[in-house]
Amino acid sequence: MTQKTFLLPAIEPTADAGLAARLQHKIDHKTKPLGALGQLESLALQLGLIQGSEAVRLSAPQMVVFAADHGVASEGVSAFPQAVTLQMVANMLAGGAAINVLARQHGFALQVVDAGVAGDLADHPQLIQRKIAHGTHNLAHGPAMTAHQLNAALQAGSDVLTSLPGNVVAFGEMGIANTAPAALLLHRLAGVSIDDATGRGTGLTDPQLAHKQGVLRRAAQWHKHAVQPLDALAAMGGFEIAMMTGAMLQAASQRRVVLVDGFIAGSAALVACAVAPAVKDYMVFCHRSAERGHRLLLAHLTARPLLDLDLRLGEGTGALLAWPLVQSAALLLNEMASFESASVSGRAA
């Protein structure tokens, strides 16, 4: 089969001065003091602009978890063995992971995408088989993936997204050692030092963290010429990060609400925003994780997350924990009375 070449989809900025003014007027004249709903007000405005409407409808929300392994795991940068990726994907498909619990609670359809797990998975109704390879190459000694593999991963992410219904999609991931490529992408695309970008991941001790930072410093030097976003993604990224990047770009091109989870999903958002800045208009940054670099990643994107719960699990858990806030913002915009409709006196002049 001939591999399709990934073409960057057309993404419209959501900016619409007239609609924004109407939405802001509607929000400001609800039965409340001006600005009293805080961040929910800016979220309601964002949702209205995404949908191009003064009334927001959220339908058939999707949770997509991209799973892959990383050659750099052989450098001892994770507290857990690589085999855990395959085992955790099996746990998700059996319904036992944290993301399964939250997807059931919040009514999300859950799909797990095998982007490059270092093992074979049996067919399952919730598994989408899009394996690029059995894990990336070791980025400490060469490019994580070839240009062909990068193209295939971006296209696969786009195709997966296109196959799903609804106008809301949440992104999560599973992959032992994937905080290493995320830290390298933050370093290269946002200019954050390796030490500041690199955290404890699955729970490294101080000596293990120092070792991980040393591995990543050497990798960054090895790939010092990979400065363009997609070049950096190929050299230092992961299959799940690349696939998520393609899916985020496609979601924005279809004007879907994009729920961004933590540090790994954030690194995909970082790449997506670097190649198509308008994609950020569609992104709701759901939480600030405990992973060291995530705060700096959000600051670089000037993104204000909805939650800060010291999460560091991944899987998309933070995105689904924030979902009730997204629903609330939409419902308040749609259903809360205005001063005029409720015959309530407004603020005195």
Tell me which residues are annotated as active site. 315
Please state the three-class secondary structure of the chain as a single string. CCCCCCCCCCCCCCCCHHHHHHHHHHHHCECCCCCCCCHHHHHHHHHHHHHCCCCCCCCCCEEEEEEECCHHHHHCCCCCCCHHHHHHHHHHHCCCCHHHHHHHHHCCEEEEEEEECCCCCCCCCCEEECCCCCCCCCCCCCCCCCHHHHHHHHHHHHHHHHCCCCCEEEEEEECCCCHHHHHHHHHHHHCCCHHHHCCCCCCCCHHHHHHHHHHHHHHHHHCCCCCCHHHHHHHHCCHHHHHHHHHHHHHHHCCCEEEECCHHHHHHHHHHHHHCHHHHHHEEECECCCCCCHHHHHHHCCCCCCECCCCCCCCCHHHHHHHHHHHHHHHHHHHCCECCCCCCCCCCC
